[in-house]
Amino acid sequence: MTQAVGVTPADDALDGVVWDVLGQTYKPKIYTDAVMMWHAHIPPEKFVPPHVHPTQDEWIYVLTGTLEVDTGFETGTPTSKSAGPGDLIRMPRGVAHGYANRSGTEATCVFGVAPARKLYDLFCALDGQTDPAELVRLSALHEVDFLPPPEDA
């Protein structure tokens, strides 16, 4: 897929597509073979569990609110860092990460991955999905691997 010249207005999504992924609203803004970016509304107490993108670098630019980003799962000592408006979160391919909005107010962000690979198709498959086992299965088919829950969960 190649990029076309144009503007995706602030309140619009590419081709009018809007996804509900884990209770978060995602609006794709650009999608090419090289990159995918989407705008996200993340309500309070919503999160994405720890997962790995083995074939993509990912980043999150926080516009409003605060996100807690969890990393360090590979070492067995997960850490959480807070990111607020104007902060850029970098998550290189192969590094397990998760995030949560624990702020009590909505957060808005722009996410991106490079290369795009299968993520657009994954979000299409996950739209409205609520079964955790099916979410994990679909994600694995699209090059996103969720970590097993902790033993004390």
Q: How far apart are CA 30 and CA 103, in angstroms?
A: 28
Which residue segments constitute the domains of the chain, with CATH numbers given?
A: 14-143 (2.60.120.10)
pLDDT tens for each residue of 15-40: 999 999 999 999 999 999 999 999 99
DSSP string, 106-123: -EEEEEEEES-TTHHHHH
How many H helices and E strands in the chain?
2, 11
pLDDT of the residue at 151: 65
pLDDT of the residue at 152: 59
CA 20 vs CA 28, 72, 83: distances in Å: 12, 28, 23
Phi/psi of residue 52, nearest 5 degrees: -130, 140
pLDDT tens for each residue of 46-59: 999 999 999 999 99
Regions of the chain where pLDDT drops below 70: 150-153
pLDDT of the residue at 52: 97
